[in-house]
Amino acid sequence: MSDGPGSPLMPTYPPPPVTFVRGRGTELWDVEGRRYLDFLSGLGVTALGHAHPAVAEAVATQARTLVHVSNLFGTEVGPEVARTLDRLLGGGGQVFFSNSGAEANECAIKLARKWGGRGRHTVVSAYGSFHGRTLATLHATGQPAKHEAFQPLPEGFRHVAWCDLDALEAAIDPGVAAVLLEPVQGEGGVQPATAEYFQGVRRLCDERGLLMMVDEVQTGLGRTGRWFAFEHFDVRPDVVTLAKALGNGVPIGACWARAEVAAAFRPGDHGSTFGGQPLAASAARAVLATMEAEDVPRRAAATGARLAEALGQVPGVRLVRGLGLLLAAELVERPAAEVTAGALERGLVVNAVTSTAVRLAPPLLVSEAEVDEALEILAEVLR
């Protein structure tokens, strides 16, 4: 991120309040050797914590073996990771690997257009959503203020009110190919969908012959107390996108689709030079193996319930919303940015997800003692 005037980095981020140099589990240390508790996980990325030994060993071993050959040739690790993801998603699908969540969503959007055919390409998403910062995923993102500086954006996107089935139905016309939704709007303030809404979307997509595409970039792989957040709502999507937790910090994304939908792509329709290369895929393989061994959905559900209950009792917190270990504390009167700055000064990393809400997304292996320490810091700040 930019360090301000004279920085060699483009000014796309504000100057950093802290520079971190080392991490272990839920802990981080800055350049001055000060310790912090990380209850943001790099925006939901380091789901197994920092420097997890299984992931570090997998990356080191692969770096000494084979890092990259491009997708002109086969490698062994990527297909293994794809099979694991397909199994966790219920089977019957295929995977495209990318390098980020935005690229995974870009793949989903292109797949919807190819599947829908010429003239049937519109993707409907929700206000308050966040799907990425490429031109297409930026337009899919339901935050018009983010669009203005980059107009004209690619056409073929439409936005409707969040959790409003009637609004969605009214927006569907013969040009619509797909609906793209997050099960929990993370950047929109940690706003979970309801089972009634997601089940209604599934029915609408079936009735109108549309793809139901679910963005699990932030919520996938145990974060919400299930392997995938859509499982809370008893639906099965046609397309699912993943990233963040999949590499535990090593850049990798994935777009899964039912095999009959994935068949719309032919060789040459889509690609990525780095997507699924052995280094990132080896990290993902180690991540998935560790997550299954640790049963991270169960741990996230139990720890998340405990954290949410205790957080709701902190004076200054009006309500807590979210699923598992993706939570937002809505504050009574204090600006969220002020609270997150105060927490950072006391050694706790969280972020202001809206002007009035603080987001907490600790590693899924966070300990009870670390939860108690974080709660004590937040209570002190709010006092």
The single residue of 114, 157, 244, 265 carrying the catalytic annotation is 244
**CA–centroid distance for 217 within its chain:** 3
Please indicate whether residue 130 is annotated as part of the active site. Answer: yes
Q: How far apart are CA 41 and CA 187, in angstroms?
A: 14
Query: Sign of the CA dihedral 236, 204, 130, 154?
Result: positive
Cα dihedral across residues 103, 109, 111, 113: positive or negative = negative
- C-alpha–C-alpha distance, residues 4 and 16, integer Å: 9
Catalytic residue among 215, 228, 230, 238: 215
Phi/psi for 216 (5° steps) reads -110, 25
**Residues 338, 341, 346: CA angle, nearest 5 degrees:** 125
Q: Which two tokens stand for residue 78?
A: 């990527």
Cα–Cα nearest to 367, from 294, 303, 292: 303
Per DSSP, the three-state class of 107 is: helix
Of 39, 96, 97, 130, catalytic: 130
What three-state secondary structure class fits 83? Answer: helix
Q: Are 201 and 161 in contact (CB under 8 A)?
A: no
* Residue ranges with strand state E in 166-314: 176-181, 184-185, 191-192, 211-215, 239-242, 253-258
3-state helix, strand, coil in the chain (%, to 5): 40, 20, 40
Closest listed residue to residue 287, CA positions, set 235, 238, 239, 243 = 243
Q: Are strands 326-331 and 317-323 parallel, antiparallel or unpaired?
A: antiparallel
Is 110 labeled as catalytic in the residue annotation?
no
Cβ proximity of 353 and 186 under 8 Å:
yes
Q: Is residue 238 within 8 Å of 261, Cβ to Cβ?
A: yes
Active-site residue flag, 372: no
Question: What distance in Å separates the CA atoms of residue 368 and residue 292, rounded to the nearest whole number?
Answer: 20
Please state, in angstroms and rounded to a whole number, the distance separating the CA atoms of residues 146 and 314.
34
Task: Report, as residue numbers or ranges, the catalytic residues.
Answer: 130, 215, 244
